[in-house]
Amino acid sequence: MDASNDGCVLTKYEESGVKLKENGHSEVVILDKSNDYGDVPPTTRLFKRRFLILGIFCLYSMSSAFQWIEYAIITNIVLKYYEGATELAIAWTSMIYMLSYIPLMFVATWMLDNWGLRKILLFGATLNAVGSLIKIGSVSPNLFFVSFLGQTISACAQSFILEIPPKIASLWFGPSEVSTATAIGVFGNQLGCALGFLIPPKLVPNSDNLDEIGAGFRVLFISSAVVCTGALLLMFIVIKDEPKTPPSIARALSVAAENKEKAENSPMKSYLRSIGVLMKNVPYLLLFLTYGINTGTYYAIGTLLNPIMLNYHEDAEQQIGEIGLTMVVAGLVGSVLCGYFLDKTKLYKTTTVGIYVLSMAFMFVFTFTLQLKILWLDYLSIGLLGFFMTGYLPIGFEFAAEITYPVSEATSSGLLNVSAQFFGILFTISAQELLKLGSLAANLFMAIALLVGTVLTDKSNDYGDVPPTTRLSKRRFLILGSFCLYSMSVAFQWIEYAIITNIVLKYYEGATELAIAWTSMSYLLSSIPLMFVATWMLDNWGLRKVLLFGATLNAVGSLIKIGSVSPNLFVVSFLGQTISACAEAFVLEIPPKIASLWFGPSEVSTATAIGVFGNQLGCALGFLIPPKLVPNSDNLDEIGAGFRVLFISSAVVCTGALLLMFIVIRDEPKTPPSIARALSVAAENKEKAENSPMKSYLRSIGVLMKNVPYFLLFLTYGINTGTYYAIGTLLNPIMLNYHEDAEQQIGEIGLTMVVAGLVGSVLCGYFLNKTKLYKPTTVVTYVLSMAFMFVFTFTLQLKILWLDYLSIGLLGFFMTGYLPIGFEFAAEITYPVSEATSSGLLNVSAQFFGILFTIIAQELLKLGSLAANLFMAIALLMGAVLTALIRADLKRKAANETNRRVLGEEKMALADVKLIPSNHNHNHNNNNSENEGEDFEDKEKLVRLASASSSLV
């Protein structure tokens, strides 16, 4: 085909070994064709037809996926209409898609490799259309078996769809487009799922009149058949096997390898050989399992969404359909964004692990927020779950293509889908049985399955491609995220009693307001002595052991509280709370330490802010969830049931966080992330060689206490954060003086304070990273915290709830925004003293002032809330004055800047050594490039990427 006729798009490279032909055609000529795979075709070319082919495939895929869920999402209506239909039979209308795929995938991938793209797509589209047409004739209460027959035929078409996206991407798209093209191919399937959740509940009414239901089914089936038949016709007109000229060098090499394989072996032998190669590829086998677990969970949720959610929202078929739609639409966005991100970064392993962890986390979130029976929260939580879970699909395909190249993408992705269908059936049947115990059991089963998948996904360290003197590890994001989950689980428990003080008083015999306040203050008190233990352990044992020790305390405490649900067992509940409180000492000083150990100089403030974010998110949930789960009832059994759900949910998250920490956490990367850290390591090693660990630790504390700017920060940080703790602990009794019987609203007001603080902490950390204006940012944030404490104090007198939400939100924004600023300011003015020690002492101050202010404010509450609030506002005024006196001696920043020029000279010297003439041993350069790729990508065999890039550069 002539380029001018088909609208070929120019692919331009101006690197050695590549030049444009001077013949007027839009193509690239490869000057050096020598490589390990033999001769490469002389041109690569991108055709505009590729977009039309991808679009038509998406329509076909959408029409197939729509039918997958069209019965299951209206299970209760199908049961009402069709005679002989059962819940299991209806679940099988979905599971038949999974079951039929397992044997037919092997047929489909063999046909794809030997018949070509066009024939296989037309064959599948014909099955899809025939099945949809049969269902038109099944609209009668006694014809469920006909409907099931049509569904089964349509289900068989899926085997000729799911493995196609990476194949189309490889055949038609360039190297910078393949991940996005794969994501768009998956997009069509997910769009069909979305419409399958949305349209059937709209078209088929939940009526007692069977004729009305039948009319709805008729419209549904005819509409579906029209789209399926239209897709078949378009496929016949548009689809071609592949372009005459390959779109990328990787595809050209693959064509050469395929031709050689076909010349030497029969098609069946080649196909079986490729499967054998895949089954011996350990990274692929792990991906095979983890992809199956993730996608199988997704299928099970989609299939059982109607019965799962009807347990919480009766007669809400349409809303449940919309919730399913939300999951899939969010997933559409996630799949495209993840594919685009992968195209731009090529961070396959990091992206895969990160997305998997977030899928698992939001499955737990969805599981527990469902208990609240709040529809808008279900929309939100399942949307976030769908975003990451569906975003994983194209990543899995592309990761498989990378680690198995040059095996056909259809075979590698087809086997992934076999795993997905197998686990989909297994999880659907298992979850359906667990539904007999309740939706919570079924959802927990799937959440734990994702946790197992997360464990299997992450098996190694990986480091980024950065200069040899310092190096940023991709693992740093996973470590920070895992820490945030752990920190969140600790902080959640801090306020879970105090925010429902009046309910705890009603339920537990012997509980007093002071005792309940101490469930919160025990966190503050235990941190004062244990901080010295924790920071010494952190400097001498390392990050991993300290976090595991703290996470174990946290999990044990949460488990003890499960056994305290009885009015006469407040002492047991307090014991569990005290053990969990001890874990706090192994949390609060960690964010700046993780930032220093793992993050670069332009990231430390943001990393610290995100570390604080996890703790504040836990506080936010601690304000929100207990008032929702534990009712203010006169029936003690109802209150006890609420406490039981609260404690079990908390224990599951705490135990999961411990397991995740065990898998993910490492002490520090092999290569420091910054010059300042490298210098700090040298200083620490010298100190350890000259002094005992205890002597070094006591010496560093002495240095800090003689540092006047740090001592002033020690006081001001304690005043600010202590005030925050006092407000959180006493928010319930403070606000009940103005708003009686408003426990839930008070919890939401506390949530508002913390959520606004989450935003404030991240924005302040980001601002600090960009500007390094430590002193001005600290002063301004402190002054605004003080100002909005006065605003909150006086607007509270107006007894206007929306005004309380607003004023405490602004207070929380600046007061919480100060937390990471304080940590980072301390690290700057005390460098090279360990960040754990400087931040740990700040937290000792915070706990001391938190206890002091809470006790004083509780006494002042006897005079009224105004007196207590004014006391805390005046304390912040004193803190603001002291903050202005702090001298900004930014030692860490100076260390980085002083050594930057030296590092630059080292890089230039290294570059001089590595420079090789462009005509010098091209094959040798290829091998070096691939070896470096293995180092920097943690030995992930990204052969497809390496072969293409090494040929172009």
Average pLDDT value for residue range 326-336? 76
- Give yes or no for a contact between 804 and 791, defined as CB atoms under 8 angstroms apart: no
Sign of CA dihedral 243, 249, 254, 255: positive
Confidence tier at 339 by pLDDT (50, 70, 90): low
Q: How many residues does the chain have?
A: 953
Gap between the Cα atoms of 193 and 198, Å rounded: 9
Average pLDDT value for residue range 531-552? 83
Q: Which comes out higher in pLDDT, residue 219 or 347?
A: 219
Confidence tier at 953 by pLDDT (50, 70, 90): very low
Which of 117-126, 270-279, 289-298, 653-662 has the least mean pLDDT? 270-279
- Residue 698 makes CB contacts below 8 A (sequence gap 6+) with none
Write out the DSSP string of 713-728: HHHHHHHHHHHHHHHH
70's tokens:
């069209």
Confidence tier at 924 by pLDDT (50, 70, 90): very low
799-855 pLDDT per residue, tens:
888 888 898 888 988 887 777 777 778 777 787 776 667 777 787 788 788 888 888
Gap between the Cα atoms of 661 and 659, Å rounded: 5
Which of 188-202, 332-346, 778-792, 881-895 has the least mean pLDDT? 332-346
389-409 pLDDT per residue, tens:
877 776 776 677 777 766 766
216-235 pLDDT per residue, tens:
999 999 999 999 999 999 98
Burial class (CB in 10 A: 0-12, 13-18, 19+), 740: exposed
Mean pLDDT over the full length of the chain: 77
Gap between the Cα atoms of 432 and 424, Å rounded: 12
Gap between the Cα atoms of 624 and 371, Å rounded: 13
Please give the pLDDT value at position 202: 87
Please give the pLDDT value at position 2: 36
Q: Which comes out higher in pLDDT, residue 153 or 913?
A: 153
Average pLDDT value for residue range 673-690? 66
pLDDT at 930 exceeding the cut of 80: no
Which of 98-107, 130-139, 407-416, 653-662 has the least mean pLDDT? 407-416
Q: How much of the chain, in percent, has pLDDT values that exceed 90?
A: 15
Please give the pLDDT value at position 152: 93
Which of 23-37, 41-55, 67-81, 225-239 has the least mean pLDDT? 23-37
Gap between the Cα atoms of 598 and 600, Å rounded: 7
Average pLDDT value for residue range 264-287? 73
Which of 22-31, 38-47, 277-286, 690-699 has the least mean pLDDT? 22-31
Please give the pLDDT value at position 144: 92
* Three-state SS at 669: coil
Gap between the Cα atoms of 776 and 484, Å rounded: 28
pLDDT at 752 exceeding the cut of 70: yes
Please give the pLDDT value at position 304: 82
pLDDT at 48 exceeding the cut of 60: yes
Q: Which comes out higher in pLDDT, residue 509 or 368?
A: 509
* Three-state SS at 916: coil
Structural Rg of the chain based on CA atoms? 31
Q: Which comes out higher in pLDDT, residue 15 or 831?
A: 831
Peptide bond into 247 cis (omega under 30): no
- Rounded to 10 deg, the angle between the 117-136 and 87-115 helix axes is 150
- Give yes or no for a contact between 492 and 391, defined as CB atoms under 8 angstroms apart: no
Q: Which comes out higher in pLDDT, residue 761 or 240?
A: 240
Strand partners, 463: 473
Please give the pLDDT value at position 948: 36
pTM summary value = 0.42
Which of 14-23, 476-485, 544-553, 897-906 has the least mean pLDDT? 14-23
Please give the pLDDT value at position 579: 93
Confidence tier at 772 by pLDDT (50, 70, 90): confident
Please give the pLDDT value at position 635: 92
Gap between the Cα atoms of 409 and 386, Å rounded: 25
593-650 pLDDT per residue, tens:
888 788 887 777 677 767 777 777 887 788 788 888 999 888 999 999 999 999 999 9
